[in-house]
Amino acid sequence: MRATGSHLGENAHVMVPGTEGYAEHAEELIERFEAVSFSAKHEAVVHLLPSVPSAVLDVGAGSGVDAAWFASQGHRVVAVEPTDSLRLAGIRLHGAHPIEWIDDSLPDLACICARGQKFDVVMLTAVWMHLDAQERRRAMPRVASLLAPGGVIVMSLRHGPAPSERRIFQVSDEETVDLASGCSLKTVLSLRTASAQAANRRAGVTWTRLAFRWAT
């Protein structure tokens, strides 16, 4: 079964805050994204992911490496990517997988939230740092509203120098945990790791891997 087509939503052809620099450097970034496997990137969180077919939302899916891995494991995957060149590359490169691609973006995820669907896994890999403080406060309740009972939200926070052409903010672990707690989410993982991308490691970039579940 091949991937479904791209849903061009209200963000089509509009520069979404946080996506600056991605379209302009898409070719180089896609090569870097595709060079890093899911297992290399997410080794720290694999044990938290469901082993049975589940509903997965990948927010900021890029060229679709993670979405394709989830689909290959039998999961039902919705991939959100606001940058046209990355989303279309994902459809092209991973078209053999049944991924539904959606043009939507943080902080509101308006298209996804309007569907009323809940997900067992919500992935936010290397996206949270593109939101400013006000946008992060607005985004967390939206993300939490998409989580199914028993599900898990997996996030990565970037630390270190940032390319000048991109909109990147330094985000603390403590702030993110506090925002999640305010949405009745409990922290089940907080781990500092090296970057999976060689260029980022050379630049001194590190990541915090966070995971949240509903508090009981």
The domain that holds 59 is classified in CATH as 3.40.50.150
Q: Given pLDDT bands bounded at 50, 70 and 90, which one contains residue 7?
A: very low
Count up the domains in the chain and report the number.
1
Does 1 map to a domain? no
Q: Are 155 and 124 in contact (CB under 8 A)?
A: yes
Which stretch of 59-68, 69-78, 126-135, 195-204 has the lowest confidence by average pLDDT?
195-204
- 3-state SS of 18-40 is CCCCCCCCHHHHHHHHHCCCHHH
- Name the pTM for this structure: 0.87
Does 156 map to a domain? yes
User: What does the mean pLDDT of the chain come to?
Assistant: 87
Distances (CA, A) of 214 to 25, 46, 211: 37, 18, 11
* 42-65 tens-digit pLDDT: 999 999 999 999 999 999 999 999
Range of the domain at 199: 6-214
> Does pLDDT of 145 surpass 50?
yes
